[in-house]
């Protein structure tokens, strides 16, 4: 098993443990070695230290709303998670283009932070995720999924034969990046 090259690197862990911070760190470090990257991450939006919602941010720096407290939205939304209304169209407008196929002649990292309940209200996104994890994509993928068992597609990702799952904890979140990047570099054929 030591020589296995994984294609999918999956981060999981409790909410707020640091998966997004770790994702951004790994993507940045690999970009500095010349690996091309694309995709997105989600980020909490806070005002006066109170969470108002979540944004989707592409690795190119484009930002849009994923979810907001319903009281902050101008119009009603169809989907909610807790007190947050999910802005499907804004999410799709940024996330989906960031996941499109890239020039696969050179090593590439596709970042998907995160694959979760809010994001899966988008059927287009869910279909795209199924495609990415069908082994037809040539990209190496760094993705995050919820710790708890949930959607069948998420469970298929967790148990994918070409995936390595890393559980991020408060104890390992500042050091686990080295192990993940070593595995990724082997897969991407970089030293």
91: its two tokens: 């999410």
Q: What ranges in 99-175 are assigned the alpha helix state H?
A: 123-132, 152-158
- Contact between residue 41 and residue 57 where contact means Cβ atoms under 8 Å apart: yes
Give 77-83's long-range contacts (Cβ < 8 A, gap of 24+). 78/121, 79/118, 79/121, 81/117, 81/118
Per-residue confidence (pLDDT) for residue 166, from 0 to 100 = 97
pTM metric for this prediction = 0.92
Mean pLDDT per block of 10 residues along the chain (191 residues) reads 77 94 95 91 93 95 94 88 94 95 74 95 96 81 92 94 95 94 84 43
Q: Is 3 contained in some domain?
A: no
Q: Is 2 contained in some domain?
A: no
Q: Is 43 contained in some domain?
A: yes
Per-residue confidence (pLDDT) for residue 1, from 0 to 100 = 44
Please name the helix (run of DSSP H) or strand (run of DSSP E) that holds residue 167, with its range, or none.
strand 163-167
Q: Is 1 contained in some domain?
A: no
Closest to 64 in 3D by CA, of 97, 87, 38, 96: 87
Q: Is 106 contained in some domain?
A: yes
CATH code of residue 140: 3.40.50.300
Closest to 121 in 3D by CA, of 94, 76, 158, 86: 86
Distance, in Å, from the CA atom of 71 to the CA atom of 69, rounded to the nearest integer, reads 5
Question: Which residue range(s) make up the domain with 60?
Answer: 8-188
Q: Is 80 contained in some domain?
A: yes
Per-residue confidence (pLDDT) for residue 161, from 0 to 100 = 93
Total of domains in the chain: 1
Q: What is the DSSP letter of 3?
A: T
């Amino acid at each position: 098993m030591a020589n296995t090259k994984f294609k999918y690197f999956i981060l999981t862990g409790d909410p707020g443990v640091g998966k997004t911070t770790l994702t951004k760190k790994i993507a940045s470090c690999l970009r500095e070695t010349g690996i091309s990257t694309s995709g997105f991450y989600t980020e909490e939006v806070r005002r006066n230290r109170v969470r108002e919602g979540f944004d989707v941010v592409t690795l190119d720096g484009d930002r849009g709303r994923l979810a907001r407290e319903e009281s902050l939205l101008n119009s009603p939304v169809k989907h909610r998670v807790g007190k947050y209304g999910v802005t499907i169209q804004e999410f799709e407008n940024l996330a989906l283009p960031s996941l499109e196929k890239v020039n696969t002649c050179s090593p590439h990292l596709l970042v998907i932070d995160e694959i979760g309940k809010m994001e899966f209200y988008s059927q287009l996104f869910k279909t795209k995720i199924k495609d990415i994890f069908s082994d037809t994509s040539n990209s190496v993928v760094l993705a995050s999924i919820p710790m708890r068992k949930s959607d069948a597609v998420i469970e298929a990702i967790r148990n994918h034969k070409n995936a390595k799952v890393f559980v991020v904890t408060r104890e390992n979140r500042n050091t686990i990046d080295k192990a993940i990047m070593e595995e990724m570099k082997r897969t991407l054929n970089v030293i």
